[in-house]
């Protein structure tokens, strides 16, 4: 427990590996001193043990959530049938200019993976295409692109607000200033020049209401256990209010890599699996789980004819199609982006000299700790 105490302290408190040899850490800690070599050996041993536990818990079929691109290391995590995820791997940090981060290289790295969930990056779309797997883009990023387009169309309104806020940034008591609004001199040209006209005011109030709706959906997407059905319901509501958003968040928008797969998942989550189209069934085939109903020959009546008995057997042997793991497919890449934040904090100034393999082991244990 002494050595494990050092390891847990260093990994979870984001301390450098040399921390176990720090004079003050040894002096003010009740843990027995150990060397950094001992700590490295323990780090590697526990990593192998956790890898074995993750492999033992992994089913034969799983969904994987990955994220990577031209400037990001690729990471992979699995999403099991229940709401649980585990970090599987992280590609080493790119050190040389001659190292290739292309989709083909990522494909070789992920050759053993199954269905993928990626960010809406061109490299990831290419990777999903050459791997012949469905690609579920991050719903948050799709909505962000739609909101950015909406903001571009109202640049003049935002510029007017920005100009006004620049003049008002020195106000110390905003509540008192708003109370004086009705007493403003309407003949003060310099002041009236800064205030938006009534038409602008109406437009800004409408934009404010719109952005409140956008904010509510964006916050909901950050929640736990958000399914593809939830995203579809929210996006359809936004499209009804903002038809221009259909270019990014519609079911068959150009940005969607595999629309049949996403629509099929939504149908299954709604309980309409029997209404899947042929293309949706093909897209969901890796998730198909077939249950054969047991045949009870004792229920056949002696008076039934041969045709009746055969028809009854056929009905009893009918297969009921069920699709597993569909509800576990993440609609956003929030878990992966959270991992990048942890990795950025872990690889701080004190750990710039840490080699890629020890860094991966530290992050692996930190993310998979229980």
Per DSSP, 71 falls in state T
Is residue 88 within 8 Å of residue 78, measured between CB atoms? yes
Which of 315, 341, 262 is CA-nearest to residue 75?
341
Q: Give residue-wise pLDDT tens across range 135-156.
A: 788 888 889 999 998 888 888 7
Q: Is the pLDDT of residue 321 over 70?
A: no
Residue with the bigger pLDDT between 164 and 329: it is 329
Is residue 118 within 8 Å of residue 333, measured between CB atoms? yes
Q: Which residues of 252-267 are buried (b: 16+ CB within 10 A; e: fewer)?
A: ebeebbbbbbbbbbbb
Residue 325 region, left (φ>0) first, then alpha (ψ -120 to 50), else beta? left
CA–CA gap between residue 193 and residue 178 (Å, rounded)? 18
Residue with the bigger pLDDT between 36 and 335: it is 36
What is the maximum alpha-carbon separation in the chain?
A: 102
Residue 41: per-residue pLDDT: 87
Is residue 1 within 8 Å of residue 46, measured between CB atoms? no
Residue 107: per-residue pLDDT: 54
Could you tell me the CA-to-CA distances from 239 to 87, 174, 256, 278 in Å, in that order? 35, 36, 16, 27
Which of 84, 85, 83, 64 is CA-nearest to residue 74?
64
Which of 47, 45, 18, 49 is CA-nearest to residue 34?
18
Per DSSP, 30 falls in state S
Which residues lie closer than 8 Å to 352 by C-beta, 6 or more apart? none
Q: Give residue-wise pLDDT tens across range 91-118.
A: 555 545 555 555 555 555 555 443 444 4
Per DSSP, 295 falls in state P
- Tell me the whole-structure pTM to 2 decimals: 0.63
Which residues lie closer than 8 Å to 334 by C-beta, 6 or more apart? 140, 221, 222
- Coil, strand or helix: which one is 35? coil
Residue with the bigger pLDDT between 172 and 40: it is 40
Is residue 70 within 8 Å of residue 122, measured between CB atoms? no
């Amino acid at each position: 427990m002494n050595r494990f105490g050092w390891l847990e302290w260093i990994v979870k408190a984001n301390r450098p590996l040399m921390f176990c040899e720090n004079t003050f850490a040894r002096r003010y800690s009740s843990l027995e001193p150990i060397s950094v070599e001992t700590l490295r050996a323990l780090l590697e041993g526990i990593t192998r043990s956790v890898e074995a536990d993750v492999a033992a818990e992994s089913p034969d079929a799983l969904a994987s959530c990955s994220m990577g691109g031209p400037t990001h290391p690729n990471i992979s995590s699995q999403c099991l049938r229940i709401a649980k995820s585990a970090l599987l791997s992280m590609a080493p940090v790119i050190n040389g200019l001659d190292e290739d981060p292309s989709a083909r290289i990522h494909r070789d790295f992920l050759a053993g993976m199954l269905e993928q969930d990626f960010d809406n990056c061109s490299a990831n779309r290419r990777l999903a295409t050459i791997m012949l797997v469905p690609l579920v883009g991050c719903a948050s990023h799709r909505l962000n692109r739609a909101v950015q387009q909406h903001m571009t169309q109202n640049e003049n309104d935002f510029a007017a607000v920005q100009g006004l806020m620049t003049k008002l940034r020195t106000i110390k008591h905003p509540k008192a200033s708003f109370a004086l609004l009705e007493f403003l001199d309407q003949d003060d040209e310099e002041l009236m020049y800064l205030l938006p006209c009534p038409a602008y005011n109406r437009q800004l109030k409408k934009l404010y209401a719109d952005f409140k709706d956008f904010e509510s959906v964006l916050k909901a997407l950050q929640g736990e256990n958000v399914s593809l059905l939830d995203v579809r319901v929210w996006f359809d509501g936004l499209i009804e209010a903002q038809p221009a958003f259909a270019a990014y968040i519609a079911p068959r928008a150009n940005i969607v890599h595999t629309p049949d797969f996403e629509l099929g998942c939504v149908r299954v989550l709604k309980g309409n699996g029997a209404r899947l189209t042929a293309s949706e069934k093909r897209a969901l085939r890796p998730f198909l789980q077939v249950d054969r109903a047991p045949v009870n020959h004792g229920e056949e009546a002696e008076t039934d004819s041969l045709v009746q008995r055969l028809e009854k057997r056929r009905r009893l042997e009918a297969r009921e199609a069920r699709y597993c793991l569909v509800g576990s497919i993440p609609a956003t890449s929030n878990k992966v982006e959270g991992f990048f934040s942890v990795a950025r904090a872990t690889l701080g100034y004190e750990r710039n000299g840490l080699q890629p393999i020890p860094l991966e082991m530290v992050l692996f244990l930190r993310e998979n700790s229980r």
